[in-house]
């Protein structure tokens, strides 16, 4: 992959290699990361994330469609296109470097990630009510109305804001972001 080659040609080469070796996770990761580094888009980022979050695989050198030496050479050639070498990085470190290369699009990824993280912790009000616990005799009891009303007045605006952010994120996903 000459440095003077067109980005589209390099991307096509990576896609072709991925198709030729669909069961080789290490090669697929290298190809996808190369594609991302050539064109750092949100879609390419999520494709990299998907592959890097898959568990590493053990491969049997005897049953590979290409010799291991060729695989290693191929990965080394792909690495010449990279501004860094993430061989021993975890996903969080690689993600940080990828987001730094994305510019404004990184804010889209960060927003979607924040919304996805907050959705995990959000529970509908019906579920909150079902998790109430009866007071135990060792602890002082309080009038529930005096405690719940002030807390609800704080939580409701926050929940409304979260719903707005979720709606915005869903709209962004539908538009392809």
Q: What share of the chain is helix, strand, coil (3-state, %, to 5)?
A: 70, 0, 30
- Distance of alpha carbon 107 from alpha carbon 100, whole angstroms: 10
pLDDT in tens, 31-81: 999 999 999 999 999 999 999 999 988 877 777 788 889 999 999 999 998
pLDDT in tens, 86-145: 888 889 999 989 998 988 888 777 777 776 666 555 555 555 444 444 444 444 444 444
For residue 3, give the nearest of 32, 37, 26 by alpha carbon.
37
Q: Give this prediction's pTM.
A: 0.61
């Amino acid at each position: 992959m000459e440095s003077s080659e067109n980005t589209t040609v390099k991307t096509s080469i990576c896609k072709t290699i991925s198709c030729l070796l669909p069961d080789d996770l290490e090669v697929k990761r290298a190809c996808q990361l190369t594609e991302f580094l050539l064109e750092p888009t949100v879609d390419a980022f999520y494709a990299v994330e998907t592959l890097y979050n898959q568990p590493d695989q053990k491969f049997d050198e005897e049953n590979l469609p290409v010799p291991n030496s060729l695989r290693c050479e191929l990965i080394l050639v792909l690495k010449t296109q990279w501004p860094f070498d993430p061989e021993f990085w975890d996903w969080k470190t690689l993600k940080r470097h990828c987001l730094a290369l994305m510019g404004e699009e990184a804010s889209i990824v960060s927003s979607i990630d924040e919304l996805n993280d907050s959705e995990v912790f959000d529970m509908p009000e019906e579920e909150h009510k079902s998790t109430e616990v009866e007071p135990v005799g060792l602890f002082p009891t309080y009038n529930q109305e005096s405690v719940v009303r002030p807390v609800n007045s704080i939580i409701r605006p926050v929940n409304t804001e979260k719903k707005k952010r979720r709606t915005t994120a869903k709209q962004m996903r539908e538009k392809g972001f």
